Structures are given as C-alpha cells and as structure tokens.
Structure 1
C-alpha cells in the first residue's frame, strides 16, 4: 500500500512538472524556427499564457494595423532593467524580449471561416494576463530581441489550431474578412511584414538605421493597465518588478492622450497622439521621412513643420493634386488626409502595415484640421 501511495505521488509530481510553464529562453543569435523556442508565450490551442516574468503592457494610443487587437509583453533577464529616457525609447538591457501578438475577435455565427470581427477589445478576450483562444483568432507574434549587436526583429505566424507559430522571414499574405457590428463584411489581405519591412519601420533614425522599439517610450506607456490582479500604473509596475530604473514621479512623466478619449483629452491632444504613434517614427527630425519637412512626432511645435500651409517637397501622385499638407479648416483639400484615405501603394500613408482605411483615424484628423483657423497663401 505504501509503495502504491509513493508511486501515485511520483506520477502526480511528474504531471505537475509537465504542466509547469517552461522558462523564457533568450537566444543570443540565430532565428529559432518556432515562437515556442523562446518560451515567452505558451498556447495549448485554448489558452495563451504568459511565462513567468513576462509582463503585459499597452499604449495610450496604439498604431493602427487593420483593426487588429494586440497583446504586448516585455521580459528582461533577472537582475537587469531598462533605463528611463524622457523622449526616446527606454535603454533596454541585452536579453530583453518584447513581443506583440496580433489577433482579432472571432466573428462567430454563420460568418465565413476567414471572418474576423471589427470591435473594440473587451475583458472577455482575456484569461488572466493571457488570451481566451476560443474567442479570438491569432494572426502573428512579432518579437524584438535585444542582442549584443542591437535589436533583431522576427515575425511568427500562428497555425490554424493556434498551438504553434512559425518564423516567417519572407512575410505572409492572409486573406480575411472584417465583419462590422451591423453584419457587413469587407475583404482584405492582412500583411505579415518580411524582415526588411520590420527593420524599415523600426529604424526610426535615418543616419544610424539602427532598429529600436517604437512604443516603448514614456509618453506611450504612462497609463494604467488592467493586470490579472487589478489595475495599476504601468510604469510603476515596471519599477516594482525591477524592469525600469531612473523614472521620475508620475507628475513629471510625459503622457500622450488616448485618441478615443474625447471626454478627458482635447481634440488637439488626441490628434497629435494619433499622428505621433502612426507617423512620428518616420516623420521626425532624424527619421526616414526627414527630407519631407513634415514632422509629426509629439515634440514638434512649429505649425509649418506640422504641415500647416506647407507645400510638399516633391510633387506627384502622393499629393492628390492638392497644394498643401494641411489646409486649415479644409481637410478635404489637405494632402495629409488624402494620403490617409488612399490605398494606392504610391500614395498611401503609412506605407506599410495596412490594407484598410482607418475610418475613425481619418475622421479624427479631419476634425482636427477642420477646427483650425487661417488661410494659406495661394489657396484655391
């Protein structure tokens, strides 16, 4: 009898070990074939769980990606921390792994197999700090990995069973149908970026061309997050778990507006936050679009640099035959709105990351331009 009890205890211990989440595994070089080899996220096809020490986070205003929802996480090796910077991305230690999982709510009902729902994120998508995979369709997970030589970008595409994600160096095109609340559907192609496109977006310094995180800046992260054990200020939580040093008091930390929060933020603050995250990583004084003269990051105060009554540097189809980047009071005559509404690869902005028009974003920027006063010289 005693031997039977010991045997049963041994089997139970083995089962417990089998169920324990594997630790995060940082790869100092190479490109692991599967996401599971990093150990950051674990899926059994029903639940997506975060490994120990993996911290979820969100942004005040996120980048638009064809209405996809995103689960963002960060992990750092024990005993290391990011150094706070007021304006730029934090200085992350070697070994940092930042993940961003793109997913959609399932359309359900009689919708097509490739149908996903256009809807705001809701608490029922979550299980703890992970995801309820019975309610969502995962598309891809992108990693930014801080190695000795700098950041590396890797994209992993999830299989239909949502049990494994495989490295996709060349990117991928996934046909989907976006279903609105009224039942209407729009076919589109979700584009998983290739490695060059990942590097192109994250190389926000046109001189060094070094890859860096876009969202991991104080002004984007200074907000509360609904963790599994309750809501708390994100930057405070980062400090509590040892992931951030050198941060000032909350009152001295910059904060971008939530672009949707018209009750607590001004129209100007919301539009500037939207342009900052969607356009500012290229349209800044050091970015790939620096020669355009149009600067849209949050630090810009010059109305001319913001595009108000500024002619484009180079004429062409990107102007839509309009004369100025922004015409006060006239969004329909502004190049900025034209390019946001375009799906032409030679004119659309942003150039990558979307196959759909962000109607709500266009409406916000149009309202912002419409509220501006003034008149441009030679305005027609």
Structure 2
C-alpha cells in the first residue's frame, strides 16, 4: 500500500510538471505570423521625411486608421507624462530585418527603422460632449547605418483625415478634459515640437531610443483581444537576431506607476526612469550630477540630502531629496512647478497628478536619512544600544540595516501596550539613528518606567529595554 502511495505521488508530480510545461508551450502570442514591412520605408540618407502621414505608408487605410501590414504595435510599462495625452505606439523595420536584442542595454535597430507615436486628446465640445481625437503623430527615424536618429512631428487637421509635417515648433490651444479632475475641462496649450527639439529627450546617453527596450516591453499587451507578453510575441515572430527564450522573470521590468498594488518605491523609481533618467544619468546634463536610472542604488543617485544646484522653489532647507519631507524635496517641487524650474522642461504645461502623488508618497516613506562611516558599512541588520540609558528628557536609538528595505521602530510599555511607531518606512542600507523624547503618539509625556523598543525589518526582529527616569 505504501509503495502504491509513493508511486501515485510521483505520477501526480510528473503530471503536474507535464501540464506546466504544456501550458508554457501554449502561452499565447499576440501575432502568429510576421509579414514583411514594405510600406513605411524612410531613407534619410537618400531622401527626406514624407510631408504627410498619408504619403508615409503608416496606414493601409488612413480614413479608418488601419495600420499597414508588417508594422508592430507595442506598449510600455511606464509611460512618459504628456499632459494627459493618450498614446499608441508602433515600430517598423524595413522588410523582414531584425533587432539585436539586449537584456539590459539598448536594442540595436536595423538601418532606416521607424518608431511611431500617435497622440490623442480627449476634446470637449461646446455642448460638453467628449471625443478622443488624434492630434499629432511623431516619427523617430534611424539615419541609415549610423547611430543617429531624427525626429519629426506631424499635426493632424481638424477632421483627422491627414497630418502635415512641421518644420518649426508651434502651440495649439484645445479644450480638453482636465487630467486632475475628469469631471471638468480646461484649455490645454499643446506643443508640437520642431525636429531639433526631439534631441532634448532622445539623447545619445540613452541610445536615443526611449520606449522599445527590455524593461519597458517586458509585460503584457492587448493585440486586438489577445493579451500576450510582448517579448514572447516578438521572439516568436523572429524580430530578434537571437532566440531570447521564454522565461523573462529575471529580465528587467519597469513597474506601472499607476499600479496601487505595487510597492511605492518600485512605482516611483520606474516613474523617474521613464520621465527623467534620459537626461539625469552619468554623462547627461552637466548642470546636475544626479543619476535617476532605475538600476542605481538610492544612496548612489546623488540626491539624498544633497543640496540643489537650482532655485530652492521656496523649500525651507533645500535638498534634492529630503527623506520623509516631500515639501522640502526639490525633486518633487520641480514637477509641481509651472515656471522656469519646471520638470520636464519641454512639452509639458500640466502637472501630472498621479506621478507627483507617487513621488510624494515615496519620499514620505523614506523615513530617516542614512549615515554610513567610510569603510564601515554594517555587516548585519540589528538594533543597537541606546544612549543615554537610563534617560530623562530624551534618548538616541541606533540601528543598522545591510540592505535597502522597510523598517519599523515601535515603542511598548512594560505590559506590551503599543506606545507609538517611532520610525516607519523604507530605509537605505546603513547605520541609522532615531530620537525619542518620552512622548506617546498624541504628544503626551509618558510616566517613568521600563519601556521596550522593537526593530522590525524584512528579516530581523529585535527588542531592547529602555529605562525612563523623571
């Protein structure tokens, strides 16, 4: 009987393995068969950009805006803020040419590749009705077999039947739904960039291509009703010069900053990567030496408790990022500014309500600054002795963390009743200090006696005794 049970368990395990493998093999792809692109072909070495979208080959039917065969739609995990505009994205490779895939770096696109982004606004009519209408299409075109890309903007006419190439920047006013309050409308000053403006964001430091990269496309996309991982779909179609396999769990992936179920730190860092890091990275802007890339550890970004090199925007003690104090963090204040200090500095005149809220909550969660003595980083996460102990007016509590992560420092009386959370939030790795003035959460002085302080992290829980004498 025991032998039969063992065989049954082994058979069951084998069946589960086979079912799991079958499910992986049957994972959906968004597009089954690749069709060569023979329509959207732009050669800037031997010619110019088309003067209209209808002449570009982007659409098979421009009146219905049916994309031509062989052009790939895609989405990004974290979108660049564009004053509430809704965007659709595509890329076109000449014929059946391929992309050299990179897990962590820039994708190498073939000559004459074209990246496409359509911008739609929710327009409000005089009678209050709302309709989503295309207003702009942008092309980013690779110049032959060089490393250079050039950008072009096309403005759609009022009937949305065609779009004209722009040679200079211009601004149009539209009555749109207010991104901060969808029940209201507002006048939106929409900027159409000139060709030379595109290079302000599409910098050489990030390979000029911002959207199509592993961290942005490692996620699901709705291919006309079929939801599938984009990397899996492109790999299935042979878009890459190499087979990248089917397991992307260890590949980089940005977090949607709208996702309330995700950790606030992941949302904020992904937002900074998508909206700021193309300028703020090593070798980027010379005015500031900060690094807002996702892979950079927080204590190496050059922002925590660092003085700002620009106007303090009214901050009392200006720092680029003051942990726990968003109102005095210039990183946030510049995204809330609509003047000369605004970030981003181009093509945006409306504050991003979700993005700024995420940044504010993240800064608030960084409860305490970190001090690490040179060459003496902590070797273990632990609650250290406080001093003085016993104490009268106040005491300093020291604790250390070996990795970035959440930590809580909680005070209890001798009966185990919670007095207050002294510290709560995400911490940098390092040696930390907190101060207790002998008061509870309401600010009332507690009585003399023995108290307990407990440090809780992801992998440590330690408790020490404190003696308060009055």
Q: Deviations over 1:24-76 (max 9, x none)?
A: 3333431221122220135544x211100111101001000001000100111
Q: CA RMSD in A?
A: 2.4
Out of 320, 334, 337, the residue aligned to residue 332 of structure 2 is 337
Q: Deviations over 1:283-320 (max 9, x none)?
A: 11132x255122111121042525111112x2436675
Contact 1:43-1:162 within 8 A present in 2 as well: no
Distance 1:85 1:322, change over 3 A: farther
Cα displacement (A) at 1:229: 4.9
Out of 25, 46, 66, the residue aligned to residue 41 of structure 2 is 25
Residue 183 of structure 1 corresponds to which residue in structure 2? Answer: 183
Residue 361 of structure 1 corresponds to which residue in structure 2? Answer: 355
What residue ranges of structure 2 are gaps of 5+ in the alignment? Answer: 1-36, 372-470
Q: Distance in 2 between matches of 1:301 and 1:211?
A: 22
Task: Return the index of the structure with the highest Cα Rg.
Answer: 2
Cα displacement (A) at 1:187: 1.6
What aligned pairs does 1:39-78 form with structure 2 within 5 A after superposition? 39-42=57-60, 44-45=62-63, 47-78=64-95
Out of 189, 209, 212, the residue aligned to residue 213 of structure 1 is 209
Comparing 219-228 with 181-190, greater Cα deviation is found at 181-190
Contact 1:304-1:310 within 8 A present in 2 as well: no
Cα displacement (A) at 1:182: 5.3
What aligned pairs does 1:221-232 form with structure 2 within 5 A after superposition? 221-232=217-228
Out of 159, 163, 169, the residue aligned to residue 165 of structure 1 is 163
Distance 1:302 1:266, change over 3 A: closer
Residue 267 of structure 1 corresponds to which residue in structure 2? Answer: 264
Distance 1:160 1:147, change over 3 A: same
Contact 1:317-1:347 within 8 A present in 2 as well: no
Cα displacement (A) at 1:78: 2.2
Out of 134, 137, 146, the residue aligned to residue 138 of structure 1 is 134
Residue 311 of structure 1 corresponds to which residue in structure 2? Answer: 307
Q: Distance in 1 between matches of 2:165 and 2:220?
A: 32
1:197 maps onto 2:210 in alignment: no
Cα displacement (A) at 1:321: 6.1
Out of 236, 243, 246, the residue aligned to residue 239 of structure 2 is 243
Larger proportion of strand: 2
Q: Distance in 1 between matches of 2:71 and 2:367?
A: 47
1:284 maps onto 2:281 in alignment: yes
Q: Distance in 2 between matches of 1:44 and 1:156?
A: 14
Q: Distance in 1 between matches of 2:102 and 2:290?
A: 24
Comparing 303-312 with 357-366, greater Cα deviation is found at 303-312
SS of 2:270's partner is helix
Residue 371 of structure 1 corresponds to which residue in structure 2? Answer: 365
Q: Distance in 2 between matches of 1:376 and 1:87?
A: 29
Cα displacement (A) at 1:169: 1.7
Out of 330, 346, 350, the residue aligned to residue 352 of structure 1 is 346
Q: Distance in 2 between matches of 1:297 and 1:158?
A: 34
Residue 124 of structure 1 corresponds to which residue in structure 2? Answer: none
SS of 2:233's partner is helix
SS of 1:183's partner is strand
1:104 maps onto 2:98 in alignment: no
Cα displacement (A) at 1:85: 1.4
Contact 1:283-1:290 within 8 A present in 2 as well: no
Scaled by the length of structure 2, the TM-score of the pair is 0.65
Q: Distance in 1 between matches of 2:207 and 2:161?
A: 29
Q: Distance in 2 between matches of 1:234 and 1:204?
A: 25
Out of 319, 326, 338, the residue aligned to residue 321 of structure 2 is 326
Out of 149, 152, 171, the residue aligned to residue 150 of structure 2 is 152
Q: Deviations over 1:1-46 (max 9, x none)?
A: xxxxxxxxxxxxxxxxxxxx9833333431221122220135544x
Residue 6 of structure 1 corresponds to which residue in structure 2? Answer: none
Cα displacement (A) at 1:376: 8.2
Q: Distance in 2 between matches of 1:147 and 1:163?
A: 28
Cα displacement (A) at 1:109: 7.2
Q: Distance in 2 between matches of 1:109 and 1:230?
A: 38
Q: Distance in 2 between matches of 1:37 and 1:272?
A: 40
SS of 1:251's partner is coil
Contact 1:309-1:376 within 8 A present in 2 as well: no
Cα displacement (A) at 1:86: 2.2
SS of 2:183's partner is coil
SS of 1:83's partner is coil
